Amino acid sequence: MDSTITAPAPLQGDTAALRRLYFVRFAFAAAWAALLFATARTLSPLSATLLVSYPLFDVACAVVDIRSAKANRGPVRGLYANIALSTLASAGLVAAAASGIPAVLRVWGAWAVTAGLVQLVIGVLRRGRGMAGQWPMILSGAISVLAGASFAAQADMADASLSALAGYAFLGGVFFLVSALRLMRAESTG
């Protein structure tokens, strides 16, 4: 993880690109959660496709985020870690979908814990660089760690379902929306 705390303050384009990315992430999470919630009781081909697509979308967003951060001399190591974790999660979810909902919950839980830790660190580093809108990302990362542990615990329950994953994704999307709005406010006052 990048420990550079003395990096220059983010440029206007950096926060604008991040704000747009956060709005896109909110829209995707909301739509994805609605679709998964509608199919949450069984592990169908549609729900399996949705499960694998979410971490792949996360990879694509991290790539966009890296391009913006590099252009503005920002830290990117945590984003590379996120790409690796999300890629592994997608592969793990492909395998887990063949085994059933409990296996999916375990893989998703492990991904939520590790990705949450990375998001927490990235948010703290960006906050340290003076970038606005990071408190929701920090809180979201911490909640992700706790949620991931609960998914693993739910996997052992007789009535395990994917509905908690839909709620998790939607809540994560709301945190992206709040961060986007905070960045927009910071841009207008900055």
Profile the chain (190 residues) by mean pLDDT over runs of 10 residues: 33 73 96 95 93 96 86 75 94 96 97 92 84 80 95 92 94 90 80
Report pLDDT for 10: 44
Report pLDDT for 112: 96
- Segments forming the whole domain that contains residue 156: 30-189
Look at residue 4 and tell me if it is in a domain.
Answer: no
pTM comes to 0.83
DSSP state of 42: S
Look at residue 183 and tell me if it is in a domain.
Answer: yes
Residue 70 contacts residue 12 (beta carbons within 8 Å) = no
Structure tokens at 8: 């220059």
Report pLDDT for 2: 34
Report pLDDT for 70: 74
Look at residue 69 and tell me if it is in a domain.
Answer: yes
Report pLDDT for 48: 95
Look at residue 71 and tell me if it is in a domain.
Answer: yes
Look at residue 18 and tell me if it is in a domain.
Answer: no
All residues at 6 or more sequence positions from 144 whose CB lies less than 8 Å from its CB, including other chains: 112, 113, 115, 116, 119, 120, 168, 172
For helices 163-189 and 12-38, the axis angle rounded to 10 degrees is 160
All residues at 6 or more sequence positions from 141 whose CB lies less than 8 Å from its CB, including other chains: 116, 117, 118, 119, 120, 121, 122, 123
Structure tokens at 182: 């905070």
Report pLDDT for 73: 67
Report pLDDT for 8: 32
Report pLDDT for 187: 75
Look at residue 22 and tell me if it is in a domain.
Answer: no
Look at residue 102 and tell me if it is in a domain.
Answer: yes
All residues at 6 or more sequence positions from 88 whose CB lies less than 8 Å from its CB, including other chains: 111
Look at residue 46 and tell me if it is in a domain.
Answer: yes
Residue 51 contacts residue 93 (beta carbons within 8 Å) = yes
Report pLDDT for 14: 65
Report pLDDT for 126: 80
What is the total count of domains within the chain? 1
